[in-house]
Structure 1
Amino acid sequence: MGVEMGKQKKIFVKIVACLILMGVAYRLYLSIIIPSSSSPQFIAHYSPPAPLPQLPTPPHPHPHTTSSPGSCDIFTGEWVRDPTGPPYTNTTCDTIEHHQNCMKNGRPDSDYIYWRWTPRDCNLPKFDPKTFLTFMRNKSMAFIGDSISRNHVQSLLCILSQVERPVEVYHDKEYRSKRWFFHTHNFTLSVIWSPFLTEAKIFEDYDGHASGAVRLHLDQPHSEWVNQFGKFDYVEIAAGKWFLKTAVYYENSTIVGCHNCKIENVTELEFDYAYRRALQTTLGFITKSDHKVYTLFQTTTPDHFENGEWNTGGYCNRTVPFEEGETELRDIDSIMRNVELEEFKKAVGDTNGSTLKLFDTTRLALLRPDGHPGPYRAFHPFEGKDPSAKVQNDCLHWCLPGPIDSWNDLLINILLTE
């Protein structure tokens, strides 16, 4: 009887052991055939690129972005059709300025909103407003620059407002500098009007008609943003097109030259001299400041005026993006870009503990001649007029929604990889 019981116990132990081994093998099998789920992996971003001779096709990918495995430049790619469209409309966002509200102003086509920037060799996740607001909880961010910076902030606000509606808590007299507050996340977002980044006296109206030369102090960072700098955790700076304007240049409060001013005994200087000095002053202040701020430096945005400029009948009536090889930067934009890359490279090598990143949107912008307001910067511009009548076009800024929305995909990608 005892012998029989012993045999039964041995058989039972063998059965249990066999079941355990089968269970382990089955779990191992599942782990091989079913990949684990995880959140999207963002692309790493590091050091500055070397200057490129021209766009749109660079000889090598920019070495300032990478992903694992392999390397990837999120700023090199193409515009791909996206049938899902933008995350907002001109009716679900109430912060679009009228000059960029192309649909409300009567633009008849809408294909331009169904494209999304796609890097050549890696995945770029779409901007997630919840993730961004969580990341920015208890922080402050400012966009410092000209109307392109303001255009970008409007796009960002439109996307974020689908999750939380911000409260406008400040605007200047001309509504060019503004500040918004997201109560739930204790997040402050600002746009600061500073088209030269340094101190300047400007004599022109809102539509760009000048009554005198700009007085530009190249060695003094603009007090409008400098006085608030200590409050910011993140800043994005951008400049460019305003340096083409007629201006008198000052350093140490003394005239050192001018651009297109035709003043007797004043040295004529090219615009890139002033642009370089202004960037040196701005980047020098940021990188040497005791207050360490994460800074994005945005490259120049080319315009798409054809057969004239903004004030000489130029227009932009294309309805699809360019493909690589169809266009290239004009000389002026190439000069600006080279200055930007050179000065960025110098500054990033001497940051004194600050974080400085290149936000290289030049190529993205170059390939989108279809995304501008054109004549629809104004409300129904041809209503009651002869169809052949000439109206002012905007071929620099972007319709909202529009191509500039993709810049936010790049923005969050860079921030979340740090």
Structure 2
Amino acid sequence: MAAVVFKADKAVFLSHKSIYSIAIVTILLVWLTVYHTPHSVPTFSRPKSHKQPYSSITSNKSDSHALCTIESYNHGKWVYDPIVNLGNNLTAANFATATGYYCRKKFAHRCFRRSESELIRAKTIVDYRWQPESNCTLLDFNPKLLSEHLNDHPILFVGDSITQLQFESLGCLLGHYYTNRHPSHSNLNGGNPNIRVDEKAPESKETASLAFIRSDYLLRLDDFKLTIPADSPGTQLGTGLNHPWVHGLSYFDYIVLNTGPHWHPNLMWGPNETEEELLDAFKRAMSTILDYLDNHVRSNQKVWIRTTPYGHAACSQFTEPSITPIPPSGKTGEFEWHLFQQFDMIWKDILLPYRKDNRFEIFDVTTLSNLRGDAHSKPDKDCLHTCLPGPVDYWNRLLYHEIMKKEIGYTY
């Protein structure tokens, strides 16, 4: 009888042991699922010697929506969607962490680094999220994946200080994966130490993965020549820089160009200093640039002509995004902001014959930017530049989308 009881107890013991094993396995599976599944920005576990597969790229909306185009993305509205509530912990460092901003250098438009009041305003600016009206799908921004891609397919930004905003924004968004380099001599300054080229690249790279060359007009105004490092910059319409850049084209797979805010009526364009003379000169200049690019850009390169958002007069009056754009009036003190849309139309017109040429495309960011009178860098003092982080970050999210959708073989 005792032996029977022993066997029964042993059976019960084995049953409990099995239950415990199943429970442990179940808990382990739950732990792996809950804590190792990405919820927003995708991250991937992989050997360091292998790059992330492009098949890992995900979208931030359901697959039932078509991927956004540049056009569909640019039409929408800003919706109130606050970032993580920092409460009493609103410091510049915590704000940078919450917004994913890791900037390797100082620059003028990091508004959140200025003062407590500017930090609060910066928080208000980023509490609004851009939502395309078509509910199209935008690929989730993955800074690690983009940084790896740019190591092999570098990008060059050329233009004025608004273009520099986009360069600085992208540098901050990729900050964990880039280090600044400012070599005294490089392929990008053509050996001319007076030409400052902002670069961000891994130390092992001979040329930048991410670079910016300041060229306010893109060519010399005196004769519409696209200059080389040994040339004189020529006449300029105010303060700024007009460095050569075409000598560096061959080092980059992606190029983002813009000009416009520094163009003004002048006797250089005609005897009457009219806006019509200015627009005619702008068209001739941009046609010259496009002709050059057509003859020198390779089939595997991509050039985006970024549109020019306008400023907002008396911008301190704006405390939130506008529902509809409030265009400039053309009055004195608005610096020809009302002509920016006409500059954009000139580019769109001269690009019409190239509409089937995959090397060139308009990168339109005007609508989403023109609604942000509240985001300008220094209300009533600088009502053209915008704070970083801010709406310019959405330009780079679109840029990421345009780059990566081609890597996954998506066609419209």
Give the TM-score, by structure 1 length.
Answer: 0.63
Q: Which residue of 1 aligns with 2:105?
A: 95
Q: Which SS does the other structure have where 1:158 is aligned?
A: helix
Q: Are the equivalent residues in 1 in contact too, given 2:96–2:102 (CA < 8 A)?
A: no
Q: Which SS does the other structure have where 2:114 is aligned?
A: coil
Q: Which SS does the other structure have where 1:40 is aligned?
A: coil
Which of the pair has the greater relative contact order for Cα pairs under 8 Å at 6+ separation? 1
Deviation at 1:91, TM superposition (A): 8.1
Deviation at 1:74, TM superposition (A): 0.8
CA deviation string 1:314-350 (max 9, x = no partner) = x5342211113x6245565564324433433433523
Q: Does 1:283 align with 2:290?
A: yes
Segments of structure 2 that go 5 or more residues without pairing to the other structure are 1-54, 85-94, 223-233, 331-335, 407-412
Distance 1:290 1:238, change over 3 A: closer
Where do 1:326-337 residues align within 5 Å?
327-328=326-327, 330=329, 333=337, 335-337=339-341
How far apart are the structure 2 equivalents of 1:268 and 1:370? 28
How far apart are the structure 1 equivalents of 2:294 and 2:164? 24
- Identity, % of aligned positions: 25
Q: Which residue of 2 aligns with 1:83?
A: 82
CA deviation string 1:214-256 (max 9, x = no partner) = 458xxxxx7711121222211000111111264624xxxxxxx
Distance 1:101 1:258, change over 3 A: farther
Deviation at 1:372, TM superposition (A): 1.2
Q: Does 1:370 align with 2:367?
A: no
Deviation at 1:114, TM superposition (A): 1.6
**AA aligned opposite 1:114:** D
Q: Are the equivalent residues in 1 in contact too, given 2:219–2:244 (CA < 8 A)?
A: no
**AA aligned opposite 2:218:** L
Of residues 150, 154, 157 in structure 2, which corresponds to 1:143? Answer: 157
How far apart are the structure 1 equivalents of 2:171 and 2:321? 25
Distance 1:247 1:417, change over 3 A: farther
Of residues 133, 142, 150 in structure 2, which corresponds to 1:120? Answer: 133
How many residues end up aligned between the 2 structures?
Answer: 305
Q: Which residue of 1 aligns with 2:212?
A: 191
Deviation at 1:406, TM superposition (A): 1.2
Q: Are the equivalent residues in 2 in contact too, given 1:195–1:242 (CA < 8 A)?
A: yes
CA deviation string 1:26-66 (max 9, x = no partner) = xxxxxxxxxxx9742499xxxxxxxxxxxxxxxxxxxxxx9
How far apart are the structure 2 equivalents of 1:184 and 1:81? 42
How far apart are the structure 2 equivalents of 1:347 and 1:41? 30
Of residues 181, 186, 194 in structure 2, which corresponds to 1:167? Answer: 181
Q: Which residue of 2 aligns with 1:240?
A: 260
**AA aligned opposite 1:179:** E
Distance 1:174 1:114, change over 3 A: farther
Q: Are the equivalent residues in 2 in contact too, given 1:179–1:189 (CA < 8 A)?
A: yes
Deviation at 1:70, TM superposition (A): 11
How far apart are the structure 2 equivalents of 1:143 and 1:258? 34
**AA aligned opposite 2:137:** N
Q: Which residue of 2 aligns with 1:31?
A: none
Deviation at 1:146, TM superposition (A): 0.5
Q: Which SS does the other structure have where 2:385 is aligned?
A: coil
Q: Which residue of 2 aligns with 1:40?
A: 58
**AA aligned opposite 2:129:** R
Distance 1:259 1:284, change over 3 A: farther
Deviation at 1:411, TM superposition (A): 0.7
Distance 1:184 1:81, change over 3 A: farther
Q: Are the equivalent residues in 1 in contact too, given 2:307–2:362 (CA < 8 A)?
A: yes
CA deviation string 1:197-228 (max 9, x = no partner) = 11147xxxxxxxxxxx9458xxxxx7711121
**AA aligned opposite 2:58:** P
Where do 1:384-403 residues align within 5 Å?
393-403=381-391
Q: Are the equivalent residues in 2 in contact too, given 1:348–1:356 (CA < 8 A)?
A: no
CA deviation string 1:285-324 (max 9, x = no partner) = 1122253430011111200122xxxxxxxx5342211113
Q: Which SS does the other structure have where 2:285 is aligned?
A: helix
Q: Which residue of 2 aligns with 1:152?
A: 166
Distance 1:373 1:339, change over 3 A: closer
Deviation at 1:366, TM superposition (A): 0.7
Segments of structure 1 that go 5 or more residues without pairing to the other structure are 1-36, 44-65, 202-212, 217-221, 250-256, 261-266, 307-314, 376-391
How far apart are the structure 2 equivalents of 1:39 and 1:78? 25
